[in-house]
Amino acid sequence: MRLSAPIYQLKRRAKLLAREGKMPLHQAQDRVAAEEGFAAWSLLASRFEAGAKGALLPQLADGDMLLIGARPGHGKTRLGLQLLIDAARAGRRSVFFTLEYTEAEAMERVRALADHVPGAIPEIVTSDEISADFIVRYLSGSPQGTVAVIDYLQILDQQRKKPPLSEQMSALQAFTRDSGIVLGFISQIDRSYEPERASVPGFADLRLPNPIPSGIFSKACFLNAGEIRLQNLI
């Protein structure tokens, strides 16, 4: 069963309903769950939230290049951050490189997911200089199995002084193979993607104003309306 919206949006809907209807939050959550076809919110949450939490990390191998793709609001950043949090909990170095958020904004999103567990907070890097060279320098010497997520793919070469996206991705692929570091790339999906045609997007639906070489990614994770699909590409 697919949700009509990502679970975090359903939580917001329930909070709004509770406020406007002047009812307890649990009652509003159960009403939203009923609209989604579940007898209670606890059943919805256990099916779609607990089941997905931490699901990516055990399925990744050292040196993987992972693509995380979805339309806005469907949980791709959340999934990337959860991957980093799970890596940190497992004792791995984890780093979030973001060209999209300020450090405060990124930390707010991380803390909302980390449940205040000690050691579960990844490093956050927000420099405008983020590029393949910057990432390689920053991560050089990191232990094998380190996990980093880049937010996001389409703006790595937005500044003209940075190399073309194709060159950066080839350099990062070589770096992961040599170092055993796992790199995840949050990616936009083109507006032409139609959920009626496919329940989740695929590579043909990526928004790529600048091309990248084929075979760059070893795994891809696509999301839409609560459904998550992980693909092995090699």
* pLDDT tens readout for residues 39-75: 888 777 666 554 454 479 999 999 999 999 999 888 8
What pLDDT score was predicted for residue 100? 94
- pTM of the complete model: 0.79
What pLDDT score was predicted for residue 48? 59
Higher local confidence (pLDDT), 146 or 228: 146
Q: Which of 77-81, 111-115, 129-133, 190-194 has the highest mean pLDDT?
A: 129-133
* Average confidence (pLDDT) over 23-52: 79
- Would you place residue 10 in the very low, low, confident or very high pLDDT band (cuts 50, 70, 90)? confident
pLDDT (tens digit per residue) in 146-164: 999 999 999 999 999 999 9
- Would you place residue 209 in the very low, low, confident or very high pLDDT band (cuts 50, 70, 90)? confident
183-221 burial code (b ≥16 CB/10 A, e <16): bbbbbbbeeebeeeeeebbeeebbeeeeebeeeebbbbb
CB 183 within 8 A of CB 66: yes
Per the rule left: phi > 0, alpha: psi between -120 and 50, beta: everything else, 221 is beta
On the question of pLDDT at 89 being above 80, the answer is yes
Average per-residue pLDDT for the chain: 90
On the question of pLDDT at 119 being above 80, the answer is no
What pLDDT score was predicted for residue 224? 85
Residue of 218, 132, 122 lying closest to 167 (CA atoms): 132
CB 36 within 8 A of CB 226: no
On the question of pLDDT at 135 being above 70, the answer is yes
Amino acid (one-letter) located at 222: F
